[in-house]
Amino acid sequence: MIVCEGLTKTFGSITAIQDFNIEIPDGRIFGLLGPNGAGKTTTMRMLSCLIRPTSGKAYIDSYEIGMKEDARKIRYMIGLLPEVPGLYETLGAYKNLDYYAQFYGISKIQREKSIKTTLTNLGLWDRRNEPVGSFSKGMKQKIAIARALIHNPKYIFLDEPTASLDPAAAKMVREYILELKSQGDTILINTHNLSEADRICDTVVLVKNRAIKSGNPKELARGLFARTINITMQKIPPSLLKDITSLDFISQTQVNGHQLVLSVRNPEEDNPRVISWLMNQGLQVQFVTEVEHSLEDVYLELIKERV
Ligand SMILES: Nc1ncnc2c1ncn2[C@@H]1O[C@H](COP(=O)(O)OP(=O)(O)O)[C@@H](O)[C@H]1O
Ligand SMILES: [Mg+2]
């Protein structure tokens, strides 16, 4: 488990992240979601023992970051994909992975075994000696992620893994991350990409130099907005919007073509009442669906005061 307690980092007069508190249970994909300059990289670098916090504490299992005697242990427990991974472009894929694995003191036999498995899984075993510079951007980033995993870390930290990639390469990398997720790994991912966070993360924390809110992306949306339902009808008479306000549990109404959009307090209870009211008016209901608010809506709503 990863725990942050009041984690704070300042650079001179700049506060990169302040009073940051999170708990990340094992086996979850946790996203730090926020715009540029929100303090995501700073937080990840502190958790990786690359920089020390100004104040506050953080623990990776029972080890404390910022403690010299624990830093070595922590570095073995985590695999970090930094914002700029810096592969050796002239070296082959195999050599890139091997070079890195040697830092962790992994035996030659173990290195050979794990690099072979990794490159085979990535479909690159036959191309292991070709210089990494000749690979596509998506492939390079997959190798960079594989390199971060070469010592079989318990925690995987990915700092904006798709930010510098074109859409095709980003898709390739996202699929790779989803594969890691399906293996039950614990992943901390920094991203400013809302749909990526929504697709990959179990829990997100919105950050803007402090934690703004955390939760499951869909629960966050529900907590913020009234629940909205969409009713498709064969025909909507012009007076309907006015007449339906006689139902006091409806807060907002709108008509889009054949669809009536309503905000209600509690769809489980209110939908049957709306439908029987519509039927009593002699109207025919074809479909009723709930409108899901996207993570983007939540994000904009939550950071709008703070941008
Ligand atoms: N080494 C540093 N020296 C000075 N300021 C820094 C340093 N690292 C980050 N910052 C500042 O801290 C803030 C947060 O940066 P960062 O953690 O990189 O944000 P993010 O990764 O969310 O884009 C920014 O204002 C950035 O300029
Ligand atoms: Mg960053």
pLDDT tens digit string along 208-225?
999 998 998 877 877 777
Q: Is 307 exposed, middle or buried (0-12, 13-18, 19+ CB in 10 A)?
A: exposed
Q: 2-215 adopts what CATH topology? A: Rossmann fold (3.40.50)
- Kindly list the protein residues whose Cβ atom lies closer than 6 A to any atom of ligand 1: 11, 14, 16, 34, 36-42
Of all atoms in ligand 1, which is nearest to the CA of residue 83?
Answer: 21
36: CA distance to ligand 1 center in Å?
9
Choice among 8-22, 51-65, 131-145, 287-301 with the minimum mean pLDDT: 287-301
CATH number of 225-292: 3.30.70.100
Residue 307, token pair as written in the block? 């941008």
Instruction: Assign 157 a pLDDT band (cuts: 50, 70, 90).
Output: very high
114: CA distance to ligand 2 center in Å?
30
The predicted-structure confidence for 172-191, as pLDDT tens digits, reads as follows 899 989 988 888 889 999 99
Alpha carbon distance 213, 204 (integer Å): 8
Pick the residue whose CA is nearest to atom 1 on ligand 1: 11
Q: How much of the chain exceeds pLDDT 90, in percent?
A: 69
Neighbours of 277 (CB within 10 A): 15
Neighbours of 126 (CB within 10 A): 9
This prediction has a pTM of 0.82
138: CA distance to ligand 2 center in Å?
19
Sequence length of the chain is: 307
What contacts 24+ positions apart, CB below 8 Å, involve 210-214?
210/17, 210/18, 210/19, 210/20, 210/39, 211/19, 211/20, 211/21, 211/22, 212/302, 212/303, 212/306, 213/302, 214/22
39: CA distance to ligand 2 center in Å?
7
Per-residue pLDDT at 143 exceeds 90 = yes
Ligand showing the shortest atom-to-Cα distance for residue 17? 1
Probe residue for ligand 1, chosen from 41, 159, 160 as the CB with the greatest number of ligand atoms within 8 Å = 41
Alpha carbon distance 280, 232 (integer Å): 16
Kindly state the DSSP code that residue 39 receives in the 8-state scheme.
S
Q: Hey, where are the domains in the chain?
A: 2-215, 225-292
What angle (nearest 5°) sits at the alpha carbon of residue 44, between those of residues 42 and 46? 70
The predicted-structure confidence for 66-111, as pLDDT tens digits, reads as follows 998 999 999 999 999 999 988 999 999 999 999 999 988 899 999 9
Check residue 306 and give its pLDDT: 56
Average pLDDT for 37-61 = 97
Pick the residue whose CA is nearest to atom 24 on ligand 1: 37
Probe residue for ligand 1, chosen from 7, 14, 40 as the CB with the greatest number of ligand atoms within 8 Å = 14
Average pLDDT for 109-137 = 93
Per-residue pLDDT at 307 exceeds 70 = no
* β-strand pairing of 259-264 with 227-233: antiparallel
Rg of the chain, C-alpha, whole Å: 25
